[in-house]
């Protein structure tokens, strides 16, 4: 009997603790909603965070915090909250106003991706929103706009890629042309050296031949001079002999 009393006491204490936490969560969320309704988005963010401190798994608190961050244009932080909601979509759908809340979550995610010019993910987010709520004309309009911007972005990227390719092709052609010119210059230099060598050899041969000819003529001249001197000496001796 005593043991049963202790268990009942613990259960009652735990229930009172859960009840207190739920009350605290609801109080902070209601306060956040009131501030959000008066466009005090920073103050509402603080209130929603207090509610999530008590119950981090609160669907309403997470969704409302995402909206408060979105209104402050804290898009990255807002996307984190929305993605948490999207990740438990089935559970969200079972809650009160869950269908509308989940559809709006994807709609806002689409808007955030549009801000980042990530049109591909924006298109997918809007499509998911319309799967949940096919009658949302604003989402349908945003989807059409995102699809057009995505197409334009892809076309622009294709044009840029083609320009980059053309530029690379031109640079390659110019480099090939320069390489050909350099090769031609090298070939011309080699050919000029090859042509100069025979000319130099030919010039050297002519010079040698002229030297040999000059030497031969000089020898011939010296020989003739010796002969002439010898003849003069002989004539001189003959003349002397006659006088005797």
When comparing pLDDT for 82 and 201, which is higher?
Answer: 82
Distance between CA atoms of residues 45 and 39, nearest Å: 11
Say yes or no to pLDDT of 52 above 90: yes
Residues 127 and 144 sit within 8 Å (Cβ to Cβ): no
Whether the CA torsion 129, 131, 132, 133 is positive or negative: it is positive
pLDDT band at 202 (very low <50, low <70, confident <90, very high): low
pLDDT, residue 194, reads: 66
User: What is the DSSP secondary structure assignment for residue 95, as one 8-state letter?
Assistant: S
Dist. CA 13–CA 28, nearest whole Å: 23
- 7 has pLDDT over 50: no
> Stretch 70-98: mean pLDDT, rounded?
95
How many angstroms from the chain centroid is the CA of residue 88? Answer: 35
Q: What is the pLDDT of residue 239?
A: 62
Q: Model confidence over 155-193: pLDDT tens digits?
A: 999 999 989 998 988 898 888 888 888 888 888 888 777
- Tell me the pLDDT band of 195, cut-offs 50, 70 and 90: low
- Percentage of the residues of the chain whose pLDDT score is greater than 70: 84
The rounded percent of the chain whose pLDDT value lies above 90 is: 56
pLDDT digits (tens, 9 = 90+) for 10-19: 444 444 445 6
Return the domain boundaries, the chain. 9-152, 202-244
Top-level class of domain 9-152: mainly alpha
Q: In terms of pLDDT, which residue wins out, 53 or 20?
A: 53
């Amino acid at each position: 009997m005593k043991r049963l009393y202790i268990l009942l006491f613990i259960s009652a204490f735990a229930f009172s603790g859960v009840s207190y936490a739920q009350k605290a969560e609801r109080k902070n969320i209601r306060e956040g909603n009131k501030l959000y309704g008066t466009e005090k988005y920073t103050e509402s963010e603080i209130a929603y965070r207090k509610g999530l401190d008590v119950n981090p798994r609160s669907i309403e608190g997470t969704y409302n915090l995402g909206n408060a961050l979105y209104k402050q244009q804290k898009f990255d932080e807002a996307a984190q909250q929305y993605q948490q909601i999207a990740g438990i979509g089935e559970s969200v759908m079972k809650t009160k106003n869950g269908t509308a809340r989940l559809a709006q979550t994807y709609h806002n995610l689409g808007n955030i991706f549009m801000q980042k010019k990530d049109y591909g993910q924006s298109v997918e987010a809007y499509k998911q929103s319309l799967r949940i709520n096919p009658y949302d004309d604003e989402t349908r309009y945003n989807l059409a706009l995102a699809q057009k911007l995505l197409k334009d972005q892809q076309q622009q990227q294709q044009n840029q890629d083609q320009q980059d390719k053309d530029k690379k092709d031109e640079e390659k052609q110019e480099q090939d042309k320069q390489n050909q010119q350099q090769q031609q210059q090298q070939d011309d230099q080699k050919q000029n050296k090859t042509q100069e060598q025979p000319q130099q050899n030919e010039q050297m041969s002519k010079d040698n031949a002229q030297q040999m000819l000059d030497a031969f003529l000089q020898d011939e001249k010296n020989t003739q001079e010796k002969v002439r001197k010898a003849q003069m000496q002989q004539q001189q001796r003959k003349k002397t002999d006659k006088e005797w």
